Amino acid sequence: MQKSRTTLVVALVIAAGLAVAFGVRIAQAQKRKETAKAALDKETVVAVRTAAVEKKDLPQVVQITGSVKAKNEVQVLPKMPGRVTRVLVEVGQVVKAGETLAAVEQSDVLLRVKQAEAQLQATRVGIEQAKVQEANAARAFARAKALHDKGSLSQADYEQAETGQTLAGVGVRAAEAQVALADANLGMAQKALDDTRITAPIAGVITRKSINIGAMAAPGMPAFALQDQSALRLDGAVPAAYVPRIEPGMKAAVSVDELPGRSFEGTVTRIAPSLEQETRRGAIEIALANAEGVLPYMFARAEIAFGSTANMVVVPASAVQSVGGEPALYLVKDEHAVLVRPRLGSKHLDDVIVEEGVEAGDLVVVSGPAGLKDGVRVASSPGS
Contact (Cβ atoms closer than 8 angstroms) between residue 320 and residue 343: no
Which of these, 267, 306, 242, lies nearest to 59 by C-alpha position? Answer: 306
Q: What is the pTM of this model?
A: 0.55
Whole-number Cα distances in Å, 296 to 94, 198, 256, 286, 293:
15, 24, 11, 13, 10
Across 25-39, 67-81, 100-114, 197-211, least confident range = 25-39
pLDDT digits (tens, 9 = 90+) for 64-121: 999 999 989 999 999 999 999 999 999 999 999 999 999 999 988 899 989 999 998 9
Q: What is the DSSP track for 335-352?
A: TEEEEE--EEEEEETTEE
Give the pLDDT of residue 198: 95
Which of these, 287, 294, 229, lies nearest to 258 by C-alpha position? Answer: 294
Which of these, 69, 80, 109, 92, lies nearest to 224 by C-alpha position? Answer: 92
Give the pLDDT of residue 306: 80
pLDDT digits (tens, 9 = 90+) for 230-274: 899 999 999 888 899 899 999 999 999 899 889 999 999 999 999
Helix axes of 107-150 and 155-195: crossing angle, nearest 10 degrees: 160
